[in-house]
Amino acid sequence: MKCLVTGGAGYIGSIAVKELITKKHEVIVVDNLSKGIKKLVNKKAKFYKLDLTNYKSLSKVFQKHKPEIVMHFAGYKAVEESMQNPEKYSDNVIGTANLLKCMNENKTKKIIYSSTAAVYKPHNKTVTETDELEPNNYYGETKRICEQMILWFSKIYGIKYTIFRYFNVIGDGGLNYIDPEATNVLPIIMEVVMNKRPELQIFGTNYPTRDGTCIRDYIDVIDLVDAHIKSLNKANNEIINLATNSGTSVKELVSEVEKALNITVPKKNKGRRAGDPPTLVASNKKAQKLLKWTPKISLKKSILATYKAYN
Ligand code: UFG
């Protein structure tokens, strides 16, 4: 299949490109390299440095390659930044609008879209796909708007979609991607382990959870990419959570790292970070059923893979 991958030089996209190439697909990558790293893009893929907000350049790539399918990973994703610089995050919407326009003009059949847990209204039960949506930050709102655009383009033009709502993605797919501006907890813990930061600040220890710290559903990036590959010709017009069905608190995550690496991580209890829901854990039953997919990689393995990437 001829597959165009946006964000194909990024953390998740670069692994997807590698897997697609391994499975003998033809791959075209577009990435603005704002956080992507060009050398991670498999040499067998065609690469274009461009920003999705540039419709003209994007359109030329579509006209030249006529992709059959799009995997759309590109987008800004830092929750806190989206509340300080919303204009930047509007590009998530503009880029997706341009992409859908190009897909329609060039008869691309399907989009596989990276959405997020941040579209849901926070509550303390296990999240399912039919739960109410109510993003509580602008990043989540841009993803919800893009989901809606995709649904409408599907209704009006018949473009097929699989929308994946990612929970907390961790691990490394063998390409050693290091986030140049880490904001997520495991990369930050690794920076502490590597002496690039003095300590981990634990944001909030008085949440209504088993140990007072926030609980998240950590899913390995290899399992996540596997679901994308499986959806190339399955799960059409479906919205699917990618999660493990089980939660880990910040304190539990730190202690897993300490056990796996046999070290002590310096840490300090801090106040809550604005906008953090206490618990975010999702059911993955729908993914299991529609994709015959199940996450296989343990938390310990993800931690060890991340550590390896930093060394
Ligand atoms: N945390 C700390 N210290 C840190 C960083 C994070 O204690 O230095 C805590 C956070 O407060 C939170 C947990 O670790 O309780 C996880 O935080 P992350 O920043 O790693 O992840 P989030 O759950 O905030 O965000 C992730 C994705 C977003 C997505 C969101 C969905 O990174 O893209 O899940 O809610 F939108």
Predicted confidence at residue 121, as pLDDT, reads 92
Residues 139 and 98 in one domain: yes
Predicted confidence at residue 109, as pLDDT, reads 98
Predicted confidence at residue 13, as pLDDT, reads 98
Predicted confidence at residue 142, as pLDDT, reads 98
Residue 201 maps to which CATH number? 3.90.25.10
Q: Into how many domains does the chain fold?
A: 2
The mean pLDDT of the chain is: 97
Residues 21 and 140 in one domain: yes
Closest-lying ligand 1 atom to the alpha carbon of residue 137: 36
To test the pocket of ligand 1, the residue of 73, 214, 219, 281 to mutate (highest count of ligand atoms within 8 Å of its CB) is 214
Across 152-170, average pLDDT: 98
Residues 21 and 81 in one domain: yes
pLDDT band per the 50, 70, 90 thresholds, residue 80: confident
Q: How far apart are CA 106 and CA 22, in angstroms?
A: 26
Predicted confidence at residue 124, as pLDDT, reads 84
Cα of 186 to ligand 1 centre, how many Å?
A: 9
Among the options 120, 138, 139, 307, which is catalytic? 139
Residue 90 maps to which CATH number? 3.40.50.720
Tell me the pLDDT tens digit for each residue of 243-300: 999 999 999 999 999 999 999 999 999 999 887 899 999 999 999 999 999 999 999 9
Cα of 61 to ligand 1 centre, how many Å?
A: 35
Residue 55 has pLDDT above 90, yes or no: yes
* Catalytic residue list contains 48: no
Asked whether residue 287 is domain-assigned, the answer is no
Predicted confidence at residue 276, as pLDDT, reads 87
Cα of 72 to ligand 1 centre, how many Å?
A: 22
Asked whether residue 288 is domain-assigned, the answer is no
Predicted confidence at residue 181, as pLDDT, reads 86
pLDDT > 90: what percent of the chain?
Answer: 95
Closest-lying ligand 1 atom to the alpha carbon of residue 139: 36
Residues 41 and 135 in one domain: yes
Q: How many CB atoms lie within 10 A of CB 275?
A: 15
Closest-lying ligand 1 atom to the alpha carbon of residue 270: 7
Tell me the pLDDT tens digit for each residue of 121-152: 988 899 999 999 999 899 999 999 999 999 99
Strand partners, 242: 166
pLDDT band per the 50, 70, 90 thresholds, residue 90: very high
